[in-house]
């Protein structure tokens, strides 16, 4: 039985340092939910609080309606996949997977049947009698996953499960994890610092920094309308350009300086403030630039280029001296040379405009 996880005003302290100050969050039943953030942001701490390995200094965690603050980790009915896999090295693959079931007063035949089933799901039937040391990283990962889900947990918790795998295997495994999760339909909380991985597997993502959720939304929402500059820079690559916002209710425009400005149709200021001339930070992702042929837009000088096949990345200097990165679909013609001058415009429907502190997104459509 998969559950809804409700977290209310949760506080975590180590001594006098508060790591998580009053965090509230609801994770829906059957959802693949990811906690994403740089190291030290509190994501693993939060996960381990849900698991019961970290104490709770305030607030509550409930599975469905039941508050589980005081419940022992072993009685929370969770399945956990550890960063190190934590495979028991002295037990076979089968022994590892059966370990949790053996605590649950099931008949031998029952246990065997369940183990066989799950071995099929994670596709490691042929290795069932091997010792863990004879398994590859990816296979160990599958054992860890099988061991966690075979007990039919209410919640599946995964702590950076892919960080020990090489790049290619990481992509394969994250697809496998997503497929298996969809198949068994368990509420899943996944911790990672890899934003691409998070986007690939998650139904929803909470981006965390210093124990605070900065943005909670679907991968698309977070990428396209990041709540603040931190989220914009953490998810994918972006350029933050200082600009000025002018106009009022009837129409705003962003002035990038050096004679380039764009009218914006999707700006919404808090209250009804007229932006006479508000200094703002504009987040423009590399692919949100257009090179113009008619010498309109910002003037920029090519510094160097990186050819990556499908796309070519250019590093260019603006007239302000700021260096930014832009991506263009690679053309069959020559790559632009260093020193060459180009003109750039931005895709106004895609860029995000923030207040001067970078805390508030003025662009419409932000889903928090």
Partner 1 sequence: MRTRKRFDVWTNISFLIFAFYMLFLALPLFTMLFKSVYNGTTGDFSFAYFVKFFSKPYYTNALFNSMKVTVCVTALATIIATPLAYIMATVKIRGNATIRILILISSMSAPFIGAYSWILLLGRNGVITQFVSNTFGFQMPDIYGFTGILVVLTLQMVPLIFMYVSGALKNVDQSLMEAAESMGYKGFGKMRKVLLPLITPTLLAGGLLVFMRALADFGTPMLIGEGFKTVPVLIFNEFISEVGGDDGFAAAISVIVVLFATSVFLLQKFIANRKSFTMSALHPIEAKKKKGMGSIAAHVIIYLYTFIALLPQLYVIYTSFLKSNGRIFVKGFSLQSYQSAFESIGGVITNTFILAIVSLVIIIFLAILIAYVTVRRKNALTNTLDIFTMFPYIVPGSILGIALLITFNDKPLILSGTALIMIISFVIRRLPYTIRSSAAILHQINDGIEEAAISLGASQMKTFFKITLPMMLAGVVSGAILSWITIITELSTSIILYTGKTKTVTVAIYTEVIRGNYGVAAALSTILTVITVVSLLAFLKLSGQKEVSL
Query: Which of 66, 90, 182, 323: binder of partner 1 (CB under 8 A)?
Result: 90
Query: Which of 51, 208, 264, 342: binder of partner 1 (CB under 8 A)?
Result: 51
Binding of residue 161 to partner 1 (CB under 8 A): no
What is the rounded distance in angstroms from the CA atom of residue 314 to the CA atom of residue 305? 4
Least distance from C-beta 177 to partner 1, angstroms?
A: 17
Question: Could you give the strand order of the β-sheet that contains 275-284, starting from the edge strand earlier in sequence?
Answer: 260-264, 251-257, 239-248, 275-284, 352-354
Q: In the window 98-117, what residues touch partner 1 (CB under 8 A)?
A: 99-100, 103-104
Binding of residue 71 to partner 1 (CB under 8 A): no
- Closest to partner 1 by CB, 144 or 366: 144
Least distance from C-beta 339 to partner 1, angstroms?
A: 40
Q: In the window 8-27, what residues touch partner 1 (CB under 8 A)?
A: 14
> Do residues 342 and 216 lie in contact, with contact meaning Cβ atoms separated by under 8 Å?
no
Stretch that binds partner 1, among 48-56, 286-294, 302-310, 315-323 (CB under 8 A): 48-56
Query: Which of 80, 122, 206, 298: binder of partner 1 (CB under 8 A)?
Result: 80
What is the rounded distance in angstroms from the CA atom of residue 231 to the CA atom of residue 199? 13
Binding of residue 43 to partner 1 (CB under 8 A): no
Q: What backbone torsions phi and psi does residue 98 show, to the nearest 5 degrees?
A: -80, -15
Burial 170-191 (b: 16+ CB within 10 A, else e): beebbebbbebbeebebbbbbb
Least distance from C-beta 72 to partner 1, angstroms?
A: 8
Binding of residue 88 to partner 1 (CB under 8 A): yes
Binding of residue 48 to partner 1 (CB under 8 A): yes
Query: Which of 89, 270, 309, 339: binder of partner 1 (CB under 8 A)?
Result: 89
Least distance from C-beta 57 to partner 1, angstroms?
A: 9
- Closest to partner 1 by CB, 51 or 326: 51
The distance from CA 41 to its chain's CA centroid, rounded to whole angstroms, is: 13
> Do residues 310 and 329 lie in contact, with contact meaning Cβ atoms separated by under 8 Å?
yes
Range list of β-strands (E), the chain: 5-14, 17-27, 32-36, 58-63, 66-67, 78-81, 155-159, 187-192, 204-209, 212-217, 239-248, 251-257, 260-264, 275-284, 289-292, 298-307, 311-318, 323-329, 341-346, 352-354
Least distance from C-beta 74 to partner 1, angstroms?
A: 5
- Closest to partner 1 by CB, 135 or 353: 135
| 288 secondary structure, DSSP code | G
- Closest to partner 1 by CB, 84 or 126: 84
Least distance from C-beta 139 to partner 1, angstroms?
A: 17
Binding of residue 307 to partner 1 (CB under 8 A): no
**Total interface residues for partner 1 by CB under 8 A:** 33
- Closest to partner 1 by CB, 70 or 272: 70
In the numeric block, the tokens 């895609």 are attached to: 350
Report the 10 Å Cβ neighbour count for 8: 15
The distance from CA 365 to its chain's CA centroid, rounded to whole angstroms, is: 19
Positions touching partner 1 (CB under 8 A) are 14, 45, 48, 51-55, 72-80, 82-90, 99-100, 103-104, 147-148, 151
């Amino acid at each position: 039985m998969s559950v809804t996880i409700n977290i209310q005003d949760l506080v975590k302290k180590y001594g006098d340092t508060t790591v998580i100050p009053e965090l509230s969050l609801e994770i829906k039943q059957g959802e693949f939910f990811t906690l994403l953030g740089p190291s030290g942001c509190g994501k693993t701490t939060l996960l381990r609080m849900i698991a019961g390995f970290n104490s709770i200094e305030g607030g509550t965690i409930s599975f469905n309606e039941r508050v589980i603050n005081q419940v022992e980790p072993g009685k929370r009915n969770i399945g956990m996949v550890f960063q190190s896999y934590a495979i028991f090295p002295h037990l076979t693959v089968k022994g590892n997977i059966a370990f949790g079931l053996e605590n649950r007063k099931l008949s031998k035949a029952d246990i065997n049947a369940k183990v066989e089933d799950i071995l099929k799901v994670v596709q490691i039937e042929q290795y069932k009698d091997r010792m863990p040391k004879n398994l590859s990283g990816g296979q160990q990962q599958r054992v860890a996953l099988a061991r966690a889900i075979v007990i039919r947990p209410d919640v599946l918790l995964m702590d950076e499960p892919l960080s020990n795998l090489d790049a290619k295997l990481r992509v394969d495994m994250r697809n496998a994890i997503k497929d298996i999760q969809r198949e068994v339909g368990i509420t899943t909380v996944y911790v990672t610092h890899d934003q691409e991985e998070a986007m690939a597997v998650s139904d929803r993502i909470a981006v965390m920094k210093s124990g605070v959720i900065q943005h909670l939304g679907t991968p698309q929402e977070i990428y396209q309308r990041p709540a603040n500059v931190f989220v914009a820079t953490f998810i994918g690559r972006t350029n933050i350009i200082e600009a000025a916002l002018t106009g009022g209710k009837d129409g705003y425009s962003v002035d990038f300086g050096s004679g380039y400005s764009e009218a914006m149709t999707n700006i919404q200021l808090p209250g009804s403030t007229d932006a006479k001339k508000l200094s703002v930070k504009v987040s423009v992702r590399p692919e949100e630039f257009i090179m113009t042929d008619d010498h309109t837009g910002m003037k920029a000088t090519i510094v160097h280029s990186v050819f990556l096949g499908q796309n070519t990345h250019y590093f260019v200097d603006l007239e302000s001296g700021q260096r930014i990165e832009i991506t263009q679909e690679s053309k069959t013609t020559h790559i632009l040379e260093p020193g060459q001058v180009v003109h750039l415009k931005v895709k106004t429907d895609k860029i995000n405009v923030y207040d001067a502190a970078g805390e508030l997104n003025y662009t419409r459509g932000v889903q928090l």
